[in-house]
């Protein structure tokens, strides 16, 4: 019979709730506290924009790149992919910053991506069910994906309504798509960590792990949202 400690270790590596720790696992409280402390600061910087926003994103990307290289240093060509991949998000942010109502658009995207994480976490833990991609991330479920998409759509619609979008109802569809894109980014990082047998990219944020663990969805959502807004979004004139 496996020991309790080995069972807990295996569950932790798989990203599953720890035995005897409840449906939401032991990470819920530190996750919540980290969010309460960091969210107001990040929201303030997002609303302020300018150099402070680029400094925040630049610092996050530098730390994220360090985590990427640390994880994949045994395979140099994978470590080399980190710089262009992370740089895409900076390009996406710069593109959004050139648009009218840039502040509202940037904040809309960040809120939707955050909503994806929250919705997926609670829907996945409360509903469970079939796994989304068990070989990449055993803890993710289809219920979590749908919960993340729904949360992103609702939050996007609410923010678009408050912030003065011309057609805020379009955010329902856009938010759902952002939910899928963010989950793909999350799975991409999960694939990287699973390839090298790592549970978290780091330990800088209690309850969340490393910077990459926190921004994995945003890394892909930023350039995709910026590209959409510069093409179809502009044609639709939804904002």
Condensed to tens digits (0 to 9), the pLDDT of residues 92-115 reads 999 999 998 999 999 999 999 999
Residue 18 has pLDDT above 80, yes or no: no
Residue 21 has pLDDT above 60, yes or no: no
CB contact set of 145 (below 8 Å; sequence gap of 6+): 120, 132, 179, 180, 183
Q: Please give the model's pTM, rounded to 2 decimal places.
A: 0.85
Query: Could you tell me if residue 131 is inside a domain?
Result: yes
Query: Could you tell me if residue 20 is inside a domain?
Result: no
Q: Compute the Cα dihedral for 217, 181, 136, 130 and give only its sign.
A: positive
Q: What's the pLDDT at 24?
A: 67
The stretch 79-103 carries a mean pLDDT of: 93
What share of the chain has pLDDT > 70, as a percent? 90
Q: What's the pLDDT at 27?
A: 73
Query: Could you tell me if residue 13 is inside a domain?
Result: no
Query: Could you tell me if residue 11 is inside a domain?
Result: no
Domain that holds residue 177: 27-236
Query: Could you tell me if residue 15 is inside a domain?
Result: no
31 HSE (CA, 13 A, CB side): 14
Residue 16 has pLDDT above 50, yes or no: no
77 φ/ψ angles, rounded to the nearest 5 degrees: -70, -30
Query: Could you tell me if residue 204 is inside a domain?
Result: yes
Q: What's the pLDDT at 139?
A: 84
In the chain, the number of structural domains is 1
pLDDT confidence tier of residue 22, bands split at 50, 70 and 90: low
Q: What's the pLDDT at 172?
A: 97
How far is the C-alpha of 199 from the C-alpha of 65, rounded, in Å? 17
Q: What's the pLDDT at 160?
A: 97
Place of tokens 């409840």: 22
Q: Tokens for 190, please give them.
A: 């999960």
How far is the C-alpha of 139 from the C-alpha of 113, rounded, in Å? 19
Query: Could you tell me if residue 48 is inside a domain?
Result: yes
Q: What's the pLDDT at 161?
A: 97
Of the ranges 47-56, 163-172, 183-192, which one carries the lowest mean pLDDT score? 47-56
The stretch 121-126 carries a mean pLDDT of: 91
Residue 7 has pLDDT above 70, yes or no: no
Which is higher by pLDDT, 229 or 29?
229
Q: What's the pLDDT at 36?
A: 87
Query: Could you tell me if residue 4 is inside a domain?
Result: no
């Amino acid at each position: 019979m496996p020991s309790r400690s080995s069972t807990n270790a295996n569950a932790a590596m798989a990203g599953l709730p720890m035995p005897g720790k409840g449906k939401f696992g032991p990470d819920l409280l530190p996750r919540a506290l980290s969010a309460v402390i960091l969210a107001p600061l990040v929201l303030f910087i997002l609303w302020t924009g300018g150099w402070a926003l680029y400094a925040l994103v630049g610092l996050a990307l530098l730390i994220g790149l360090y985590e990427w290289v640390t994880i994949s240093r045994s395979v140099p060509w994978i470590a080399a992919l980190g710089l262009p991949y992370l740089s895409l998000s900076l390009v996406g942010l710069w593109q959004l910053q050139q648009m009218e109502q840039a502040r509202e658009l940037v904040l809309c995207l960040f809120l939707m991506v955050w909503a994806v994480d929250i919705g997926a976490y609670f829907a996945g833990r409360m509903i469970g069910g079939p796994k989304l991609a068990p070989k990449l991330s055993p803890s993710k479920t289809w219920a979590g994906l749908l919960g993340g998409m729904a949360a992103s759509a609702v939050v996007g619609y609410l923010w678009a309504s408050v912030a003065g979008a011309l057609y805020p109802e379009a955010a329902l569809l856009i938010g759902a798509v952002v939910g899928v894109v963010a989950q793909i980014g999350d799975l991409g990082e999960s694939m990287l960590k699973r390839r090298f047998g790592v549970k978290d990219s780091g330990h800088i944020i209690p309850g969340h792990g490393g910077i990459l663990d926190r921004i994995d969805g945003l890394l892909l959502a930023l350039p995709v949202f910026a590209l959409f807004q510069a093409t179809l979004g502009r044609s639709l004139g939804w904002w």
